[in-house]
C-alpha cells in the first residue's frame, strides 16, 4: 500500500479476515481442517484416543478425535517411534499430540491418514476412566458431564447446538434485529408465571426482620426482593418500543419442580420483540427463523445429522429437509378444539373450549393431524398472560404457540397489549399491582405502538434438530431439581 493512501474499512476488513482464516499461531491443525490438498505435507494434530489397534507387524492404528468434527483421524504409529512401547499402553481417552505426514490411506473407511513421525503422550487414562470403548448410557454420561463432550453423541449434539446458536444470531442480526442484553437479576414479578429463584445476600440463618415480623428486604443487597429472570420479555419490550426490532438470547431460570425430559431449571431462551409487528407478522417471523435454522444445520452439520439420523431418530434428516420449504400450518385455538372434538379419539383429558390444550392434545395435532410443527393462535384470555393483546371478541387474546412433534411447545409468543386502559384492566383481573409495573405501563402511556414477540426454548430447538429425547443431553451442564453438579 503506497504511503499516504487512506486505508478503507474494506481494506481493514480484508486484512482481518485473512488473518482470522489462517489462525497461523495455533499449535495444532483441527482435524476438520485437514484437506486433500495437504497430502504429502507434515501436519500436527492434538486430540483424544478413541481406540488403538495393535499389529504385531510392528505398528499400531490410533483413532484420534479432537471434537472439531464427527469423524476422527487414523494415525499409523510405527515401532520405529522412540516411545512405541509406551504408546501400546495408552487407553481410550488418552490425550495425544501427533506430528506426521498426511498420506492417502490404503485401508477402507478413510481417504487419508497420518503417518506419525512423533506421538507425544500428554496424558494417559487408566481403568477407572468411564468412557471405555463399549456403549455407555446417556444416563451414565450425565453423571460424568465433564467428560461426556468426548463422546460421539454429545459431541455431535454440542456442534449442532453451536451452529443453531450461530444461525440464531445470523438470522436476527441479518434481518436488522438488535441483539439486546437483558438483565438476569430482576425485581419484577415477571408475568406472575413460574416459580423464581430468589437472589439474596441476607444471612439465611438469621435474616433481619421488619416491624411486621417478616424479612426486611430493605437491608438486602438491592434494597428489595430480587430474583433470577424467568424471561427477558418485559425488558425486551422496552427497547423494542424505541429501537424497533431487537432480540435477546441468554440464560433463563425457572424454579419449578419439573422432572421431565423437556424442562430445565436453567435454560437458554431466544426472544425477539418487534415494534409495529402484529400477530400475523409474528407467526411469519417464527416460521422464517425456524426455516433458517434447519437450512443452516443441513448445510453445516451434515455428518452430525447423519449420525442422529442413523442412531437416534430415523426420520430426522427427511423431516428437517421437509421443513426448510414447507408452509407452516397456522390454526386458531377454536379450530384446534374443533379438530380435537372431531378426532373421534378418546383422550384422557376432555377437550373443552376454554381449558388449555393438554400434552396429548398437542401431540395429536402435530403428530397425527399435521405431521409437523403447527402454530395455534387466539387462545382464550383466561389461560394466557395478562400482557397479551385482547381480541375484539373480548374472549380471546392474540397469543401464539408453535407446537412440535414429541417436544410440545417450542415457541410461545403474542402480540402485546398496547392500549393502556385495556392493559390496566387486565392487570386488575390478574390481581397485579400497577405500581409494580409502572415502567411497563409507561411504554403504553408514552408513544405506544403495536408490537409482538415470542420466546423460543433453545434446548427444545436443539432437541427437535437432533432427535435427542432428553433435554438434559442437549445442554453442556444441565441444572434440574436436586442436581447442580459440575
Contacting RNA within 31-90 (CB under 7 A): 51, 53-57, 61, 63, 74, 76, 89
Torsion on CA atoms 10, 14, 17, 19, rounded to nearest 10: -130
**338 vs 409 by CB, closer to RNA:** 409
Q: From 11-19, 366-374, 406-414, 433-441, give the range in contact with RNA by CB under 7 A.
A: 406-414
Q: Which three cell numbers stand for residue 189?
A: 414479578
* Cβ–Cβ < 8 Å for 362, 403: yes
**128 vs 206 by CB, closer to RNA:** 128
Q: Distance between CA atoms of 481 and 471, rounded to whole angstroms? A: 13
| Of positions 262, 296, 398, 416, contacts RNA by CB under 7 A | 262
Give min distance, CB of 145 to RNA, in A: 11
* Cβ–Cβ < 8 Å for 30, 42: no
**130 vs 185 by CB, closer to RNA:** 130
**92 vs 278 by CB, closer to RNA:** 92
Q: Distance between CA atoms of 281 and 287, rounded to whole angstroms? A: 10
Query: Considering the rule CB under 7 A, would residue 472 count as an interface residue with RNA?
Result: yes
Query: Considering the rule CB under 7 A, would residue 232 count as an interface residue with RNA?
Result: no
Q: From 11-19, 210-218, 302-310, 477-485, give the range in contact with RNA by CB under 7 A.
A: 477-485
**Positions in 99-128 near RNA (CB under 7 A):** 105-110, 113, 115, 127-128
| Of positions 118, 210, 260, 371, contacts RNA by CB under 7 A | 260
**Positions in 211-230 near RNA (CB under 7 A):** none
Give min distance, CB of 424 to RNA, in A: 22
Give min distance, CB of 343 to RNA, in A: 16
What mask, x for binding RNA by CB under 7 A, covers residues 283 to 302? --------------------
Give min distance, CB of 54 to RNA, in A: 5
Query: Considering the rule CB under 7 A, would residue 15 count as an interface residue with RNA?
Result: no
**Positions in 126-185 near RNA (CB under 7 A):** 127-128, 130, 132-137, 139-140, 142
Query: Over the range 102-113, which residues count as b (16 or more CB within 10 Å of their CB) and which as e?
Result: beebeeeeeebb
Give min distance, CB of 401 to RNA, in A: 7
Q: Distance between CA atoms of 454 and 384, rounded to whole angstroms? A: 13
3-class secondary structure per residue, the chain: CCCCCCCCHHHHHHHHHHHHHHCCCCCCCCHHHCCHHHCCCEEEEEEEEEEEEEECCCEEEEEEECCCCCCCEEEEEECCCCCHHHHCCCCCCCEEEEEEEEEECCCCCCCEEEEEEEEEEEECCCCCCCCCCCCCCHHHHHHCCCCHHHCHHHHHHHHHHHHHHHHHHHHHHHCCCEECCCCCEECCCHHHCCCCCEECCCCCCCCCECCCCCECHHHCCCCCCEEECCCCHHHHHHHHHHHCEEEEEEEEECCCCCCCCCCCCEEEEEEEEEECCCHHHHHHHHHHHHHHHHHHHHHHCHHHHHHHHHHCCCCHHHHHHHHHHCCCEEEEHHHHHHHHHHCCCCCCCCCCCCCCCCHHHHHHHHHHHCCCCEEEEEEEHHHCCCCECECCCCCEEEEEEEEECCCEEEEEEEEECCCHHHHHHHHHHCCCCHHHHHHHHHHHHCCCCCEEEEEEEHHHHHHHHHCCCCHHHCCCCCCECCECCC
| Of positions 83, 219, 258, 334, contacts RNA by CB under 7 A | 258
**71 vs 202 by CB, closer to RNA:** 71
Total number of residues binding RNA (CB under 7 A)? 73
Query: Considering the rule CB under 7 A, would residue 409 count as an interface residue with RNA?
Result: yes
Q: Distance between CA atoms of 467 and 420, rounded to whole angstroms? A: 43
Query: Considering the rule CB under 7 A, would residue 469 count as an interface residue with RNA?
Result: yes
Give min distance, CB of 443 to RNA, in A: 19
| Of positions 216, 321, 356, 442, contacts RNA by CB under 7 A | 356
Query: Considering the rule CB under 7 A, would residue 429 count as an interface residue with RNA?
Result: no
For 473, other C-beta atoms within 10 Å of its C-beta total: 22
Q: From 8-16, 252-260, 276-284, 435-443, give the range in contact with RNA by CB under 7 A.
A: 252-260
**124 vs 219 by CB, closer to RNA:** 124
**149 vs 194 by CB, closer to RNA:** 194
Query: Considering the rule CB under 7 A, would residue 263 count as an interface residue with RNA?
Result: yes
Query: Considering the rule CB under 7 A, would residue 408 count as an interface residue with RNA?
Result: yes
**5 vs 127 by CB, closer to RNA:** 127
**20 vs 482 by CB, closer to RNA:** 482
**196 vs 199 by CB, closer to RNA:** 196
Give min distance, CB of 289 to RNA, in A: 13
Give min distance, CB of 459 to RNA, in A: 5
**Positions in 183-202 near RNA (CB under 7 A):** 193-194
Q: Which three cell numbers stand for residue 410?
A: 417450542
Give min distance, CB of 25 to RNA, in A: 31
**Positions in 302-341 near RNA (CB under 7 A):** none
Amino acid at each position: 500500500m503506497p504511503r499516504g493512501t487512506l486505508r478503507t474499512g474494506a481494506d481493514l476488513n480484508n486484512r482481518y479476515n485473512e488473518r482470522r482464516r489462517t489462525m497461523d499461531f495455533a499449535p495444532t491443525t483441527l482435524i476438520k481442517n485437514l484437506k486433500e490438498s495437504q497430502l504429502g505435507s507434515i501436519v500436527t494434530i492434538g486430540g483424544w484416543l478413541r481406540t488403538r489397534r495393535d499389529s504385531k507387524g510392528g505398528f499400531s492404528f490410533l483413532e484420534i478425535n479432537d471434537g472439531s468434527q464427527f469423524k476422527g483421524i487414523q494415525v499409523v504409529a510405527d515401532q520405529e517411534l522412540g516411545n512405541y512401547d509406551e504408546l501400546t499402553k495408552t487407553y481410550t481417552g488418552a490425550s495425544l499430540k501427533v506430528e506426521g505426514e498426511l498420506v492417502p490411506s490404503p485401508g477402507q473407511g478413510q481417504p487419508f491418514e497420518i503417518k506419525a513421525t512423533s506421538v507425544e503422550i500428554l496424558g494417559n487414562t487408566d481403568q477407572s476412566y468411564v468412557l471405555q470403548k463399549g456403549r455407555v448410557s446417556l444416563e451414565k454420561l450425565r453423571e460424568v458431564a465433564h467428560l461426556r463432550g468426548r463422546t460421539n453423541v454429545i459431541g455431535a449434539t454440542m456442534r449442532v447446538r453451536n451452529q443453531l446458536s450461530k444461525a440464531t444470531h445470523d438470522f436476527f442480526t441479518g434481518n436488522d434485529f438488535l441483539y439486546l442484553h437483558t438483565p438476569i437479576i430482576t425485581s419484577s414479578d415477571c408475568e406472575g408465571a413460574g416459580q423464581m429463584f430468589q437472589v439474596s445476600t441476607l444471612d439465611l440463618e438469621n435474616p433481619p426482620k421488619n416491624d411486621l415480623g417478616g424479612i426486611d428486604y430493605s437491608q438486602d443487597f438491592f434494597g428489595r426482593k430480587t430474583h433470577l429472570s424467568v424471561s427477558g420479555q418485559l425488558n425486551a419490550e422496552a427497547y423494542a418500543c424505541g429501537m424497533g426490532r431487537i432480540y435477546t438470547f441468554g440464560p433463563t431460570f425457572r424454579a419449578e419442580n419439573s422432572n421431565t425430559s423437556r424442562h430445565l431449571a436453567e435454560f437458554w431462551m431466544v426472544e425477539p420483540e418487534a415494534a409495529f409487528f402484529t400477530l400475523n407478522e409474528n407467526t411469519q417471523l417464527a416460521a422464517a427463523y425456524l426455516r433458517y435454522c434447519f437450512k443452516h444445520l443441513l448445510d453445516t452439520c451434515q455428518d452430525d445429522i447423519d449420525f442422529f439420523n442413523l442412531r437416534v431418530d430415523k426420520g430426522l434428516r427427511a423431516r428437517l429437509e421437509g421443513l426448510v420449504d414447507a408452509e407452516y400450518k397456522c390454526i386458531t385455538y377454536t379450530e384446534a378444539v374443533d379438530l380435537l372434538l372431531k378426532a373421534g379419539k378418546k383422550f384422557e383429558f376432555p377437550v373443552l373450549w376454554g381449558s388449555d390444550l393438554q400434552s396429548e392434545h398437542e401431540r395429536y395435532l402435530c403428530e397425527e393431524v399435521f405431521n409437523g410443527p403447527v402454530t395455534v393462535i387466539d387462545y382464550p384470555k383466561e389461560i394466557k398472560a395478562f400482557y397479551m393483546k385482547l381480541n375484539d371478541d373480548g374472549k380471546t387474546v392474540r397469543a401464539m404457540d408453535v407446537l412440535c412433534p414429541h417436544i410440545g411447545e417450542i415457541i410461545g409468543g403474542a402480540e402485546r397489549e398496547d392500549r393502556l386502559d385495556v392493559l390496566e384492566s387486565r392487570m386488575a383481573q390478574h390481581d397485579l399491582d400497577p405500581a409494580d409495573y409502572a415502567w411497563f405501563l409507561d411504554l403504553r402511556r408514552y408513544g405506544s405502538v403495536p408490537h409482538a414477540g415470542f420466546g423460543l426454548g433453545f434446548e427444545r430447538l436443539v432437541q427437535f434438530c437432533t432427535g435427542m429425547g432428553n433435554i438434559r443431553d442437549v445442554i453442556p451442564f444441565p441444572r434440574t431439581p436436586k442436581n447442580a453438579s459440575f
